[in-house]
């Protein structure tokens, strides 16, 4: 069965098994109709199928009469930045994020240089369903411009951020072990770190687009990287996913800094300089709220998903936000997750902290997150799997007297822990995320909730 995953951020699938040229033409054509005439920015994370996908997408946009500004292999946030800077009507990043080599995707942006809202996505999908594939005549085709200043534009804005003192960072001469999994980070992160005066030890920074390991930057995929931090006596390790929107850090001891701590330390640094509202998603650590409380600032939570966090940030005029997956969003540069922005903030924070990465980690509120998933198998042979919506409704009824949030599944906040139940949109699965002050307590609560769901009838 071909695999194609459709969401408000675009389409994602396996090349040769779902994400085929015809599909690319159909979705790109619908997107062009949604955007209307004007220029569209196109970038790629450099993965091996990128050239084929790029040629199909650009050819389709030209056939629709749109001009294309091709900014080459670059981070997703670079495409976001340049849509706004160059006054484009839209932007497409060709990237399947942390998915393996066989995957690719179209990440679709609006004219503000942000991921489309649910309403915008619905508007685009109407064009797909109407199947009106009108193309331009020979004399009204679009034109391609190969624009090579896209990354420089983005990087310059990062280095000019408020509260970032490049001279002070350069003086510290950080020794950084960098792992870019051979993706777009190999084109951008060494350049940024060199501008910040760092001594960069590169691994997996070849510009091949072939991922040498599973590309999701989680600890189990980073054992060799963590060992390399110790071997090269680095001050820290920096790991990015293929399209450079997630920032994952490693301490000088070769230990995970913690993805949740990436956003927590960024919030702490930023609020120290500028008080204001903060937005994170419903699955992000409570440590962000603890830090915000120190500065008498408010934290708002949004449903999981970058577009949802950005929407809430705009509503409450947040000064910083992000997600616990290593995604930092600072509106001054890009209204989206950006590892380049996150890196500058982290290095400035370390300069002002005047200590090591392991010490910075210990200075943050300490929590532990445990994640589980339950496949809702049939209750008996021959019956259909239980409906995730029904399961969550029963949990809502049981915990209705507690502090609950229903914007994205069910989140319940207790004094000593919180739990977030979310259904999968593609499978009969419920995901459970639990956070507590100790790993043992988080594990115990998670097991309790698993048993509770399994016992529901």
Q: What is the pLDDT of residue 170?
A: 98
Residue count of the chain, please give it.
Answer: 457
Q: Is residue 340 located within the same domain as residue 442?
A: no
* Per-residue model confidence as pLDDT tens digits over 400-416: 999 999 999 999 999 99
Q: How many domains does the chain have?
A: 3
Q: Is residue 297 located within the same domain as residue 442?
A: no
Residue 87: strand, helix, or coil: coil
Q: What is the pLDDT of residue 342?
A: 98
Q: Is residue 320 located within the same domain as residue 202?
A: yes
Q: What is the pLDDT of residue 256?
A: 97
Q: Is residue 280 located within the same domain as residue 164?
A: yes
Dist CA 449 CA 15 (whole Å): 38
Dist CA 388 CA 381 (whole Å): 19
Question: Is the pLDDT at 457 greater than 80, yes or no?
Answer: no
Look at residues 148, 182, 215 and tell me which one is the last residue of a structural domain: 148
Question: Is the pLDDT at 379 greater than 70, yes or no?
Answer: no
Question: Is the pLDDT at 385 greater than 70, yes or no?
Answer: no
Dist CA 361 CA 262 (whole Å): 9
Q: Is residue 239 located within the same domain as residue 310?
A: yes
CATH number at residue 420: 3.30.310.50
Q: What is the pLDDT of residue 149?
A: 97
Q: Are 53 and 251 in contact (CB under 8 A)?
A: no
Least confident of 132-141, 175-184, 191-200, 269-278: 132-141
Q: Which residues are catalytic?
A: 97
DSSP annotation of 115: B
Host domain of residue 376 = 368-455
- To the nearest 5 percent, what fractions of the chain are helix, strand and coil? 40, 25, 35
Residue 187: strand, helix, or coil: helix
Average pLDDT value for residue range 429-456: 94
Q: What is the pLDDT of residue 455?
A: 86
Estimate the crossing angle of helix 150-159 against helix 339-353, to 10 degrees. Answer: 30
Q: Is residue 308 located within the same domain as residue 451?
A: no
pTM of the entire predicted model: 0.94
| Bridge partner residues of 92 (DSSP) | 42, 108
- Across the chain, mean pLDDT equals 95
Q: Which residue has the higher pLDDT, 388 or 163?
A: 163
Q: Is residue 278 located within the same domain as residue 414?
A: no
Pick from 387, 415, 409, 379: which is nearest to 396 by CA? 409
Q: Is residue 313 located within the same domain as residue 424?
A: no
Q: What is the pLDDT of residue 2?
A: 63
CATH number at residue 70: 3.40.120.10
Give 203's pLDDT tier (boundaries 50, 70, 90): very high
Place of tokens 């779902």: 18
Look at residues 148, 180, 211 and tell me which one is the last residue of a structural domain: 148
Pick from 134, 110, 112, 135: which is nearest to 123 by CA? 110
Give 384's pLDDT tier (boundaries 50, 70, 90): low
* Per-residue model confidence as pLDDT tens digits over 215-267: 999 999 999 999 999 999 999 999 999 999 999 999 999 999 999 999 999 99
Q: Are 31 and 63 in contact (CB under 8 A)?
A: no
Q: What is the pLDDT of residue 378?
A: 64
Dist CA 263 CA 378 (whole Å): 39
Question: Can you read off the two tokens belonging to residue 429?
Answer: 């699965």
Q: Is residue 217 located within the same domain as residue 176?
A: yes
Q: Are 87 and 164 in contact (CB under 8 A)?
A: no
Q: Is residue 126 located within the same domain as residue 185?
A: no
Q: Is residue 257 located within the same domain as residue 128?
A: no
Dist CA 183 CA 102 (whole Å): 14
* Per-residue model confidence as pLDDT tens digits over 82-130: 999 999 999 999 999 999 999 999 999 999 999 998 899 999 999 998 7
| Bridge partner residues of 201 (DSSP) | 177
Q: What is the pLDDT of residue 380?
A: 58
| Tally of CB atoms within 10 A around 56 | 18
| Bridge partner residues of 240 (DSSP) | 247
Least confident of 89-93, 395-399, 421-425: 421-425
Q: Is residue 36 located within the same domain as residue 118?
A: yes
């Amino acid at each position: 069965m071909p695999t194609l995953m459709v969401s408000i951020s675009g389409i994602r699938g396996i090349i040769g098994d779902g994400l085929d040229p015809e599909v690319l033409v159909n979705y790109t054509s619908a997107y062009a109709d949604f955007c209307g005439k004007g220029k569209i920015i196109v970038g790629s994370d450099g993965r091996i199928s990128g050239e084929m996908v790029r040629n199909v997408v650009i050819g389709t946009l030209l056939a629709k009469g749109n001009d294309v500004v091709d900014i080459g292999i670059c981070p997703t946030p670079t495409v976001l930045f340049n849509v706004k800077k160059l006054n484009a009507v839209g932007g497409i990043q060709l990237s399947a994020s942390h998915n393996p080599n066989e995957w690719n995707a179209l990440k679709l942006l609006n004219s503000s240089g942000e991921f489309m809202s649910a309403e915008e996505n619905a508007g685009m999908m109407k064009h797909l369903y109407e199947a009106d594939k009108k193309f331009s005549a020979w004399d009204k085709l679009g034109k391609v411009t190969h624009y090579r200043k896209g990354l420089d534009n983005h990087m310059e804005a990062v280095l000019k951020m408020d509260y970032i003192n490049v001279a002070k960072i350069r003086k510290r001469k950080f020794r950084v072990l960098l792992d870019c999994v051979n993706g777009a980070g190999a084109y951008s992160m060494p350049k940024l770190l060199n501008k910040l005066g760092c001594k960069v030890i590169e691994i997996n920074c070849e510009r091949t687009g072939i991922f040498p390991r599973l590309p999701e930057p989680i600890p189990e995929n980073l054992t060799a990287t963590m060992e390399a931090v110790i071997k090269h006596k680095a001050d820290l390790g920096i790991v990015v996913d293929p399209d450079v929107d997630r920032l994952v850090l490693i301490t000088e001891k070769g230990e995970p800094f913690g993805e949740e701590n990436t956003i927590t330390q960024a919030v702490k640094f930023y609020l120290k300089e500028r008080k204001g509202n903060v937005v994170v998603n419903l699955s992000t650590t409570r440590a962000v709220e603890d830090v915000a409380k120190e500065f008498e600032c408010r934290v708002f939570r949004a449903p999981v998903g970058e577009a949802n966090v950005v929407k809430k940030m705009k509503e409450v005029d947040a000064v910083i936000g992000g997600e616990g997956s290593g995604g930092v969003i600072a509106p001054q540069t890009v209204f989206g997750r950006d590892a380049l922005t996150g890196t500058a903030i982290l290095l400035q924070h370390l300069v002002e902290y005047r200590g090591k990465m392991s010490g910075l980690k210990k200075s943050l509120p300490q929590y532990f997150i445990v994640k589980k998933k339950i496949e809702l198998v049939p209750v008996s042979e021959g019956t259909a799997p239980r409906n995730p919506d029904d399961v969550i409704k029963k949990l809502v009824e049981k915990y209705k007297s507690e502090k609950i949030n229903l914007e994205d599944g069910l989140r319940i906040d207790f004094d000593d822990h919180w739990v977030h139940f979310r259904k999968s949109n593609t499978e009969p699965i419920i995901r459970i995320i639990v956070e507590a002050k100790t790993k043992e307590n988080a594990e115990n609560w998670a097991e309790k909730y698993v048993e509770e769901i399994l016992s529901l009838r």
